Amino acid sequence: MIRSKLPNVGTTIFTTMSQLAVQTGALNLSQGFPDFNGPQALLDAVGRHVAAGHNQYAPMTGLPALRQQVAAKVARLYGVKVDADQEVTITPGATEAIFCAIQAVIQAGDEVIVFDPAYDSYEPSVELAGGRCIHVQLSDGDFRIDWQKFSDALSPRTRMVILNSPHNPSGALISREDLDQLAQLIAERDIYLVSDEVYEHLIYDGVRHASVLAHEQLYARAFVISSFGKTYHVTGWKTGYVIAPPALSAELRKVHQYVNFCGVTPLQCALADFMAEHPEHIDELPGFYQAKRDMFCNLLQASRFSFTRTPGTYFQLVDYSQIRPDLNDVDMALWLTREHGVATIPVSVFYQRPIPEQRLVRLCFAKREETLRQAAEKLCAI
């Protein structure tokens, strides 16, 4: 008999809902990927590098030119100098970076604090390292961290805290004051951080991202993770990176080299070229997605869903209490897909202990205008 190392893990809700969308012909606003292509100049660069023969292994830590572009971006946006050779590692996707960071420092019996609702890859990675997740629930409604609850969750076994800002699924943001509070609470403890910042450039209404990279006290113990796929509309490229101090990067790389060794070479080449030639892409990204958010939310105002416009990510939560309060959110997501042709994600799947009275589903607005208009029309007709 097989003794599963992840006995409580099945197919993710993202796969389930996307498959159901295909089966039913529903508009897929569930899984977080665009239904439009990345910049043409970026796509063209891949072809050039493939034709030029850049098709063999990249260095284990990532293509030097791409690591240098990441370091230059960090310096420009956050005013922080990181060493491209010793502190930047390119990985095949942010999920692999998160996994490797956890495996690098978590040992049997260690505790890792995660904030619910939490992205679903965190806990299995901790369990495979022999650790245990301690779930601290974010405030219902605004999804802010309750620092008293966090303080109460700390123990001598706490070895890591996983942050996620902008937050998936809610879009909530961690502020500089939050980071200061965290730094104060763990100052005298041997605790590492994983800061999942894959939506760092998707923040709206003129708000600036509070990155752990720009917090000297926290960065000294942190793995900061981001995603080229999210930033450049190419999620299928599965290319991300992690920035960490030299000693932590060295430990992460020990794991990374045996998980995947290196990322895809021509994709790294293309990203390095595009970042160097089009730095404005990152600067324009908040406006690009805010326009989609605002258009979609304006259309949804005619519906019976209630919502507050998301401050970050490309996800919008909507409350369906006035439509089908009799359905839990999983059943609601299935009903919306099968009966009304719009696939969503139920928020309860991000919790260890779902809130019984919560009636929220997550919609992805990283879609073409035509898709968003069609989805809004279907949702407003309910």
- The number of C-alpha atoms within 13 Å of 202 and in the hemisphere containing its C-beta is 31
pLDDT of 89 reads 98
CA 238 to chain centre: 12
From the CB of residue 117, how many other CB atoms can be counted at a distance below 10 Å?
28
Note the pLDDT of residue 8.
87
What's the average model confidence in pLDDT over 159-187?
98
pLDDT of residue 159: 98
- The average confidence (pLDDT) of the chain is 97
Q: What percent of the chain has pLDDT over 90?
A: 97
Side chain identity at 262, as an amino acid letter?
A: C
What pLDDT band is residue 14 in, cutting at 50, 70 and 90? confident
pLDDT at 372: 98
SS3 track for 134-179: EEEECCCCCCCCCHHHHHHHCCCCEEEEEEECCCCCCCCCCCHHHH
> What mean pLDDT is predicted for residues 312-324?
98
**E strands along 82-155, which residues?**
88-91, 111-116, 132-137
pLDDT of residue 273: 98
Check residue 179 and give its pLDDT.
98
The yes-or-no verdict on residue 335 having pLDDT over 90 is yes
354 vs 117: CA distance, rounded Å? 8
Mean pLDDT within 51-57 = 98
pLDDT score for 10: 85
Rounded alpha-carbon distances, angstroms, from residue 36 to 23, 39, 126, 145, 185: 21, 10, 34, 34, 43
pLDDT at 320 over 90: yes
Helix (H, G, I), strand (E, B) or coil at 335: helix
User: Residue 311, CB half-sphere, CA atoms under 13 Å: how many?
Assistant: 14
**29-48 residue pLDDT tens:** 998 999 999 999 999 999 99
Alpha-carbon 232 to chain mean position: 14
Collapsed DSSP state (helix, strand, coil) of residue 208: coil
pLDDT of residue 187: 97
pLDDT tens across 92-137, in order? 999 999 999 999 999 999 999 999 999 999 999 999 999 999 999 9
Residue 317 has pLDDT above 90, yes or no: yes
DSSP string for residues in 217-234? HHHTTEEEEEEHHHHTT-
Q: What is the pLDDT of residue 152?
A: 98
The pLDDT of residue 315: 98
pLDDT digits (tens, 9 = 90+) for 280-305: 999 999 999 999 999 999 999 999 99
The model's pLDDT over 214-224, given as tens digits with 9 standing for 90+, comes to 999 999 999 99
CA distances from 5 to 124, 127, 181 (A): 9, 8, 35
Of 208, 301, 249, 259, the closest CA to residue 88 belongs to 249
- pTM > 0.85: yes or no: yes
